[in-house]
Structure 1
Amino acid sequence: MLHSVTEFILIGFSTFPHLQLMFFLLFLLMYLFTLLGNLLIMATVWREHSLHTPMYLFLCALSTSEVLYTFAIIPRMLADLLSTDRSISFRACASQMFFSFTFGFTHSFLLTVMGYDHYVAICHPLRYNVLMSPRGCACLVVWSWAGGSVMGLVVTSIIFHLPFCGPNVIHHFFCHVPPLVKLACGTEVQIVAMGVGLVCIAALLGCGLLILLSYAFIVAAILRIPSAEGRHKAFSTCASHLTVVVVHYGFASVIYLKPKGPQSLEGDTLMGITYTALTPFLSPIIFSLRNKELKEAVKKTFLSKLFLHRS
């Protein structure tokens, strides 16, 4: 399909001209911390043999998807905060949308898989090694990445097959679906936009409902444990995952389930930041602080060696 638009202009932070340097420093620090936190988790799981279990395999895959998701969006956003030229080519915009949706949905699918892993561990402990065999876990990870790739490809293909006749100004800081749909021309735009929205919401709600179902069975099983110490130990294994799920779906619902109506550019930009920068920033903190086994492994593997080296 031919397009009269060959590039777009991202103006997400143009309404905050006096705050752009402050935003750059803030988001740069958050991005570096996100990278450091996730790479630390991945390296700890890789080096510590006691963590070579399905739960930490899924956590490694989750950290990988988070690193790639932020890499698809934030470096470009940081560059635009310091530049007066915020143009992005048609192909680069499509690539950014594909990768952001691929890694974003992979993240959601992996959170669902982790919920299933907790369900099997607590509700069917005697069958855990059979149900969560190394091959089965690898398949779950591969299917999560494949599902994310399919979602990214479907959404990006649909959006970028729409005709773009101009204008070419995207009222956002990255190539996101709603502001791009507003720039498309033609009679089918609203139908396509509704279809894409329903596909995204259905996928997110499907993952959310599966996680809720897993935790319904988990809570029922925990309440049947006779000792308070046993109940606390069982719930503590799920605490970090459950917290990340609440943060992830809480901010995702702000983006995808907000009521239709006139939205200011400032509001859309700030809401987008919560999901693209704040959620990945919080995730490694939550997993590191709420997971005692991982926290001890980080201290043993890296911090102790750092202090020994200094002494």
Structure 2
Amino acid sequence: MAKRNNISTTDFILLGLFPEFQYASLLVYLILLVYLIALTGNSILTFLIWLDVHLHTPMYFLLSQLSLIDLFYISSSVPKMVINHSLGKHSISFTGCGIQMFFCLSLGGAECLLLTFMSYDQFVAICNPLQYTVIMNSKVCLLIAVASWTGGALNSLIQTIYTMHFPTCGLKEINHFFCEMPAVLKLSCEDTSDYEMLVVVVTSIVLLVVPFSLIIASYTLIFLTVLRMNSVKGRKKALATCSSHLTVVSLFFGPNIFIYMTFTSSHSPEQDQALSLFSNILTPMLNPLIYSLRNKEVVAALMKLMGRCGVS
């Protein structure tokens, strides 16, 4: 009660990640380690793509955008959680909660759109290689980046404003480690079922179902093209190029489809937290590892950089 007496009536209380878990401190510091790995991996990958001229291609430009999104995505929730745990605090202001929700939704939406555009890039590269440099020119790549960031931000702005306008009752305890939209809506004094249904029907379709369907369509055409290739080496190279992106798509869309298309009442807060932990924290750490370890050009650029550092 003493902690709650020091909290403003406008503040929210973040109960944290699995509040009943006996080894909460160990879990938080493991997450901090994951955060540092994600920060390092995404920063190195972005730097390599910027530094090495051999990586100045549309595919790697889009990959650098994915790394930047992942950097901000994981940073929107983990530092606050670690600071709160270290200081023994649980509160987050109304404004802070809205800002955190905006950035989480915005970056999640941007990543969703970017992954869809990246599948189109793969489609053009494999199904129409002779026109690749014409179709995926620098202007198109820039438009893709702007569309991804802007689309995610606009969607997030609308959702955040509407979610935060609902009045809340009681202790304002958010059973989560960050201000996730479904968790905040559960605190509302009003019936939010109509809005939840709107989010599921409209936002989920626009930012999850349609992009995922477009990705499936792109890869269906890619695999049909690969099957028609006479060269076994060409098939292996094409499939290797696609495998990293398909892995990242699976890691991103799986948890988010479950959270945002069934979030009304079908799963527990613990399931929400576990899925958010995977989507918001583990995936940004895994993405640069997946693209780096499975990509010879990235590994070669890293070896070249390490060689330069060793010489100097």
1:226 is matched with 230
The alignment status of 1:198 with 2:175, answered yes or no, reads no
The alignment status of 1:26 with 2:33, answered yes or no, reads no
- The 2-side partners of 1:259 and 1:146 are apart by 25
1:208 is matched with 212
1:93 is matched with 97
The alignment status of 1:305 with 2:308, answered yes or no, reads yes
CA contact (8 A) 1:5 1:165 kept: no
1:6 is matched with 10
**Superimposed CA distance per residue, residues 183-231 of structure 1 (whole angstroms, 9 cap, x where no aligned partner):** 11224x2111221233332111111111111101111111111011111
The alignment status of 1:266 with 2:254, answered yes or no, reads no
1:266: Cα distance to partner?
Answer: 3.4
Q: How many residues align?
A: 304
2:160 is matched with 156
Structure 1: state its 5+ residue gaps: none
2:289 is matched with 285
1:6: Cα distance to partner?
Answer: 1.1
The alignment status of 1:244 with 2:252, answered yes or no, reads no
Q: SS in structure 2 opposite 1:183?
A: coil
2:3 is matched with none
The alignment status of 1:183 with 2:187, answered yes or no, reads yes
2:128 is matched with 124
- The 1-side partners of 2:127 and 2:175 are apart by 47
- The 2-side partners of 1:113 and 1:69 are apart by 19
1:115 is matched with 119
- The 1-side partners of 2:263 and 2:90 are apart by 29
1:256 is matched with 260
Structure 2: state its 5+ residue gaps: 1-7
Q: SS in structure 1 opposite 2:76?
A: helix
- The 1-side partners of 2:263 and 2:152 are apart by 26
> Are the structure 2 counterparts of residues 89 and 50 from structure 1 closer, same or farther at C-alpha, using a change threshold of 3 Å?
same
Question: Over the residues paired in the alignment, what is the CA RMSD in angstroms?
Answer: 1.8
CA contact (8 A) 1:12 1:265 kept: no
> Are the structure 2 counterparts of residues 208 and 5 from structure 1 closer, same or farther at C-alpha, using a change threshold of 3 Å?
farther
Residue in structure 2 matching 1:40, options 44, 56, 67: 44
1:284: Cα distance to partner?
Answer: 0.8
- The 2-side partners of 1:259 and 1:162 are apart by 17
> TM-score under structure 1 normalisation?
0.92
- The 2-side partners of 1:264 and 1:206 are apart by 27
- The 2-side partners of 1:111 and 1:206 are apart by 12
1:259: Cα distance to partner?
Answer: 7.2
CA contact (8 A) 1:8 1:169 kept: yes
2:4 is matched with none
- The 2-side partners of 1:105 and 1:157 are apart by 16
- Runs of 4 or more consecutive aligned structure 1 residues displaced over 6 Å after TM superposition: none
2:71 is matched with 67
CA contact (8 A) 1:20 1:81 kept: no
CA contact (8 A) 2:200 2:261 kept: no
> TM-score under structure 2 normalisation?
0.92
- The 2-side partners of 1:241 and 1:264 are apart by 30
CA contact (8 A) 1:93 1:175 kept: yes
2:55 is matched with 51
The percent of aligned pairs where both chains have the same amino acid is: 38
- The 2-side partners of 1:122 and 1:267 are apart by 39
1:17: Cα distance to partner?
Answer: 5.3
> Are the structure 2 counterparts of residues 144 and 262 from structure 1 closer, same or farther at C-alpha, using a change threshold of 3 Å?
closer
